Amino acid sequence: NAGVTQTPKFQVLKTGQSMTLQCAQDMNHNSMYWYRQDPGMGLRLIYYSASEGTTDKGEVPNGYNVSRLNKREFSLRLESAAPSQTSVYFCASSENRVDTEAFFGQGTRLTVV
Partner 1 sequence: QKEVEQNSGPLSVPEGAIASLNCTYSDRGSQSFFWYRQYSGKSPELIMFIYSNGDKEDGRFTAQLNKASQYVSLLIRDSQPSDSATYLCAAGRGDMRFGAGTRLTVKP
d(CA 73, CA 53) in angstroms, rounded, equals 11
Across 19-39, b (16+ Cβ under 10 Å) vs e yields: eebbbbbeeebbbbbbbbeee
Binding mask 49-68 for partner 1 (x = CB under 8 A): -x-----x-xx---------
The minimum distance between CB 78 and partner 1, in angstroms, equals 21
Contact set for partner 1, span 15-34 (CB under 8 A): 33
- Nearer to partner 1 among residue 2 and residue 98 (C-beta): 98
**From 45, 72, 73, 75, residue interacting with partner 1 (rule: CB under 8 A):** 45
Q: Tell me the Cα Rg of the chain.
A: 13
d(CA 60, CA 69) in angstroms, rounded, equals 21
Q: Which residues here bind partner 1, judged by CB under 8 A?
A: 33, 35, 40-45, 48, 50, 56, 58-59, 90, 92, 94, 97-99, 101-102, 104-107
